């Protein structure tokens, strides 16, 4: 019997497998985003498009605390208007964050939200948020940015406290 020859098809398979896996690494980027959105992994919050009706249990209370951070030399003062709220899951609430640009330049930034504990992230939904778009801060301008959110009643009963944190990043200035 003779040695088998390496066929063209086999070659193509062998070489294309690593090439495919290389691009798979890049495919992990959008897969990761979708995965975080679906599972609330990494504290990614969700979005609702309208004021839906939820079954509300008026006796159930959850404390939501608001935090603010800035990264990478973001030159805008940024913080929540109220530090915490007591809320009822299933009801919509409005609060706001205040930002003041202390520089002489226009600053553009993007806020990235994160919720802890991560098991709460899936049920923390926002109707309106300044984090949906990039924000433009004119020189020495102070702005109030609103946030309208709901915590869905499906939230694990054991969770009594939720922290919502925004991290502002500079895009341009």
Partner 1 sequence: MTTATDTTATGHADHHHGPEKGLMRWIKTTNHKDIGTLYLWFAFTMVLIGGAMAMVIRMELFQPGLQLVDPHFFNQMTTMHGLIMVFGAIMPAFVGLGNWLIPMMVGAPDMALPRMNNWSFWILPFAGGILLSTFFMEGGAPAFGWTFYAPLSTTFAPDSTDFFIFAVHLLGFSSIMGAINIIATVLNMRAPEMKLMDMPLFVWTWLITSFLLIGAMPVLAGAVTMMLTDRNFGTAFFDATGGGDPVMFQHIFWFFGHPEVYIMILPAFGVVSHIIPTFARKPLFGYSSMVYATASIAFLSYIVWAHHMFLTGMPVAGELYFMYATMMIAVPTGVKVFNWIATMWKGSMTFETPMLWAISFVFLFTIGGFSGLMLGIAPADIQYHDTYFVVAHFHYVLVTGALWSIIAATFYWLPKWTGKMYNEGLAKVHFWWAVISVNVLFFPQHFLGLAGMPRRIPDYALQFADFNMISSIGGFAFGASFILFTYIIIDAIRNGEPATKRPWEGAKGLEWTLDPKAEYHSFNKPPSRKLIEQESQNS
Among 26, 49, 50, 83, binds partner 1 (CB under 8 A): 26
Q: Does 132 bind partner 1 (CB under 8 A)?
A: no
Q: Contact, 151 vs 55, CB < 8 A?
A: no
Q: Is 173 in the site for partner 1 (CB under 8 A)?
A: no
Does 148 help bind partner 1 (rule: CB under 8 A)? Answer: no
Find, among 97, 37, 68, 101, the residue nearest to 168 by Cα.
68
> Is residue 83 a contact residue for partner 1 (CB under 8 A)?
no
Tokens (6 digits) for 98:
């205040």
| Nearest by Cα to 85 from 147, 131, 5, 171 | 147
Q: Residue 12, interface with partner 1 (CB under 8 A)?
A: no
Sequence-ordered list of residues with C-beta below 8 angstroms from that of 49, at least 6 positions apart, any chain: 127
- Per the listing, tokens 């944190």 go with 165
Smallest gap from residue 106 Cβ to partner 1 (A): 17
Complex with partner 1: residue 72 or 83, whichever CB lies closer: 72
Measured from the CB atom, the residue of 11 and 82 that comes closer to partner 1 is: 11
Tell me whether residue 23 or residue 50 sits nearer to partner 1 (CB atom): 23
Tell me the window of 11-19, 58-66, 93-101, 136-144 that interacts with partner 1 (CB under 8 A).
11-19
Kindly list the distances between the CA atom of residue 156 and the CA atoms of 25, 45, 73, 118, 159, in Å, as whole numbers in the listed order: 34, 16, 37, 11, 6
Query: Please, which residue, 105 or 140, has the CB nearer to partner 1?
Result: 105
User: Residue 3 has what DSSP assignment?
Assistant: P
- 8 Å CB contact between 83 and 67: no
- Are the C-beta atoms of residues 162 and 108 closer than 8 Å to each other? no
Regarding 34 and contact with partner 1 (CB under 8 A), the answer is no
Footprint on this chain of partner 1 (rule: CB under 8 A): 1-6, 10, 14-15, 17-26, 28-29, 32, 39-43, 71-72, 110, 112, 116, 118-119, 122, 167, 169-171
């Amino acid at each position: 019997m003779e040695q088998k020859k390496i066929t063209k098809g086999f070659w193509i398979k062998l070489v294309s497998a690593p090439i495919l896996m290389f691009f798979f690494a890049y495919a992990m980027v959008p897969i990761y985003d979708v995965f975080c959105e679906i599972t609330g992994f990494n504290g990614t919050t969700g979005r609702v498009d309208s004021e839906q009706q939820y079954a509300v249990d008026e006796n159930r209370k959850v404390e939501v605390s608001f935090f603010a951070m800035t990264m990478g030399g973001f030159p805008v003062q940024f913080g929540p208007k109220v530090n915490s709220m007591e809320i009822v899951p299933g009801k919509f609430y409005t609060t706001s964050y205040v930002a003041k640009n202390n520089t002489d330049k226009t600053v553009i930034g993007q806020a990235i939200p994160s919720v802890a504990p991560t098991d709460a992230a899936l049920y923390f939904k926002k109707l309106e948020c300044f984090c949906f778009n990039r924000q433009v801060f004119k020189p020495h301008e102070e702005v109030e940015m609103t946030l309208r959110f709901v915590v869905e009643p499906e939230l694990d009963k054991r969770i009594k406290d939720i922290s919502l944190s925004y991290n502002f990043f500079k895009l341009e200035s």
